[in-house]
Structure 1
């Protein structure tokens, strides 16, 4: 509590009396120019602004900004929660609705990526192997089959996080055959991906169609064709923006799957529903074009009651898990997050389903002391509106990680305010380089959770989640920045 008797300035006394007299403080009246003012949530008088900084502590300024937001036109009818937490004292510094379960959007990825890193290790990699059965005669003819054995690599052929493109993997496999002296394949190319029956990135439950910045579109199969040429079943007159994220329904599996980019004119570039199949078909085509005949066809074989004896030719290793998690959190990649969920499910329960992944993640969180009150973990990415978490549980979770051996890697995966990832366009002024957090965005949902470095060198933890706000997402971002600004002086 501030002792105002120390101050003899009548201006200071007047200002402090004004603040303390209010149960809910609103420092500015709303006008049409409200969002265009340089400092719309401060008292307009520069003298009063100086008084604020002179007589009020950073904590009091944080509290005042939070109180101001209660009557702000953008947030007054929203459901939102906020907490700043000190990881050293294990105490709440400032909060509002910190125990209210809210839709976390992509801050859900904080839980998914940490579980994967804890269970699999930072250096975990997915392997995709080329093998052959049978024998090679004196003319270089392989009388046997080629096998492409996958392990559910979610980055296969995507160039994400340093992953190789398909053509590079194919080239490496082809060089492997040359080392073995194989000039012709008298057999099939068999795909074995027993880990995942497919590498399909399925959408989670309760996803709202036509979310902000997303489209959901139907498309054809990618099993036999280049997905870059996949045709959409849409009217050509449809006006689709090129900077959106896309999803489509594939007749191949009757499931919603992710797509990376819409190129216009009814063409969709997809995140392959069956990446190993595309790799195998590309491999066969390249071999034939280069003069290495393949008499058989590409065929899947998930189980093999009587497996052939095989020899390893080449192994493609994915980027490390730390690289995958860095990419996932920086770009908020939904497909990679869902793949991580399925991977931890398989590693623990031998089942690649989302249900198994959910069980593993929730059990991991429970065993780690996560505050389970208000938690509803439905998917790995945060696309589901059935997800719920409280601000205080997010803050305590992030605090608990600071003692883990992989904390530095995990911390470094988070976008940096004003500098990188999904935070590059926030905190470009105050807070630049001091906010390290995961963002989340759905229609009328904006969230932010992570760490902040104060001007005095402290590391604090925070969570700020807003559901059902009014106005635009940019308006909410401005309010979020305004709430956190004084926390930098704590």
Structure 2
């Protein structure tokens, strides 16, 4: 009886202490939001403790915001639901000395970072290679993407069987170099505002530069055939997708290596291709819309506010998500994955990726979160470790401000540090 009484007393004291902490934190955050800084922008915040199910703070949490790259949290969740630990590289079928291969959206083949060569190793022994490229129903650009970004590194075209990350990599240290090398003669040394012609593979590189740049390529069957013929001379032909199923699957890179790269440096191309790759589990006809609809109607049917979700990366301003939805998905991830693996996939405040210059801890990191930035919009959603050892899940979204993003982050940091120090 005494043991039971002590247990009840402990629970009551525990909840009393957290109730006091929550009240103090709420008062502090409310005071921040009442400052003139937040008068002319739209802000939402939800902070949740998954251990005791305490909603620590809620402000416009059920309203819709433009999420930018916070969208990648949903892409990560989808990939973890559908894709294996070793990613499918492509599907194939062998008929004597002929091999037919079909893309599944995997972006790692000859990518500047991953430099995967699984396809080359498998195809070399065969006399003839049939390459199927037209099984993707998505347009090369996502809905609502800014057209003027066509020459920027963060906006490559989507495709069923990417090569070289679908970008031309140009450097000029000792001499002008390009990958793939076949497009070297398409590079003009010129001081141009743009890095490529609008709809052609004519590239511009400032001769004063010494760094390496990546410029999206304009993709078509002719160009891709030339790349393959350069790799495997007189072997490769592009074939039409007939709908016939290819039963064998080749695998290449560990899934987490791709997910981490997508999240930490906020790689839009990887995010788009990861969604396409996840759709290959449902059908040989690749469709990011199909996989988005599938996950929303099944694993995420319990979301309190269903999002408007149109791409994998968050490049589109058509996307609309609420802080509540992000916290719900982050909570699902927190419950499903080991803590070390989960936190390893996110940028770390003051230490890595897009958060390297922001949200530094005192003696150790306290923020593991995904940022999202498009003009006049900045959001941050993820996990916060308090000094008392609690793990909080939060989504902090800011839209339509006209101040600098740097100032927005500074104000956000005051609130996040208050949570860290006082809860």
TM over 0.5: yes
Cα pair distance change 1:218/1:128, threshold 3 Å: closer
Gap change, CA 1:157 and 1:250, over 3 Å in 2: farther
Separation in 2, partners of 1:78, 1:390: 16
CA contact (8 A) 1:100 1:390 kept: yes
* Kept after mapping to 1: 8 A contact 2:68/2:374: yes
Q: Secondary structure at the match of 2:406?
A: helix
Q: Distance in 1 between matches of 2:286 and 2:205?
A: 32
- C-alpha deviation, 1:280, in angstroms: 5.8
In structure 2, the CA distance between the partners of 1:217 and 1:417, relative to structure 1 (3 Å rule), is closer
User: Who is 2:34 aligned against?
Assistant: 70
In structure 1, the residue matched to 2:143 is 205
Cα distance in structure 1, aligned partners of 2:64 and 2:381: 14
Say whether 1:154 aligns with 2:110.
no
More displaced 10-residue stretch of structure 1: 151-160 or 111-120: 151-160
The aligned residue for residue 452 of structure 1 is 384
TM-score scaled by length of structure 1: 0.65
Q: Distance between the aligned counterparts of 1:222 and 1:78, measured in 2?
A: 36
**Secondary structure in structure 2 of the residue aligned to 1:319:** strand
Q: 1:360 to 1:228 in 2, by over 3 A?
A: farther
Q: In 1, distance between residues paired with 2:358 and 2:167?
A: 38
Structure 2: gaps (5+ residues): 1-19, 158-165, 169-179
Following the alignment from structure 2 to structure 1, what is the Cα–Cα distance between the partners of residues 215 and 153? 13
* Distance in 2 of aligned mates of 1:301 and 1:115: 30
Q: CA separation in 2, counterparts of 1:307 and 1:376?
A: 32
Give the Cα separation in 2 of the matches to 1:340 and 1:218: 14
* Structure 1 segment 60-139 matched on structure 2, within 5 A: 60-61=24-25, 63-73=27-37, 75-127=38-90, 133-134=96-97
* Larger Rg over CA atoms: 1
Confirm or deny that 1:303 pairs with 2:241.
yes
Task: Provide the residue aligned with 1:192 in structure 2.
Answer: 132
- Which residues in structure 2 correspond to 1:206-225 (within 5 Å)? 206-209=144-147
Instruction: List structure 1 segments (4+ residues) > 6 angstroms apart after TM superposition.
Output: 215-219, 265-268, 275-279, 305-308
Relative distance call for 1:344 and 1:250 in structure 2 (3 A) is farther
Given candidates 258, 264, 269, the residue that maps to 2:206 is 264
Distance 1:353 1:79 in 2: 33
Structure 1 contact 78–467 (Cα < 8 Å) conserved: yes
**3-state SS, counterpart of residue 414 of structure 1:** coil
Secondary structure at the aligned position of 2:87 is classed as: coil
Structure 1 residues 348 and 381: CA distance shift in structure 2, 3 A:
same
Q: What corresponds to 2:174 in structure 1?
A: none
Q: What is residue 337 of structure 1 aligned with on the other side?
A: 271
Distance of aligned partners of 1:465 and 1:405 in 2 relative to their CA distance in 1, 3 Å threshold: closer
SS at match of 1:366: coil
Does the CA contact (< 8 Å) of 1:222 and 1:230 recur in 2? no
Answer whether contact 1:201 1:339 (CA < 8 A) is retained. no
CA distance in 2, matches of 1:383, 1:127: 26
Summarize the alignment of residues 159-178 of structure 1 with structure 2, pairs less than 5 Å apart. Answer: 159-160=112-113, 162-164=114-116, 170=120, 172=121, 176-177=124-125
* TM value normalised by structure 2: 0.74
1: CA distance, partners of 2:350 / 2:181: 38
Supply the distance in 1 between the matched residues of 2:105 and 2:153 (Cα, whole angstroms). 26
Aligned partner of 1:372 among 284, 287, 305: 305
Q: Once superposed, what is the RMSD of the aligned Cα atoms? A: 4.2
- The answer for the alignment partner of 1:415 in structure 2 is 347
How many Å apart are 1:190 and its aligned residue? 2.6
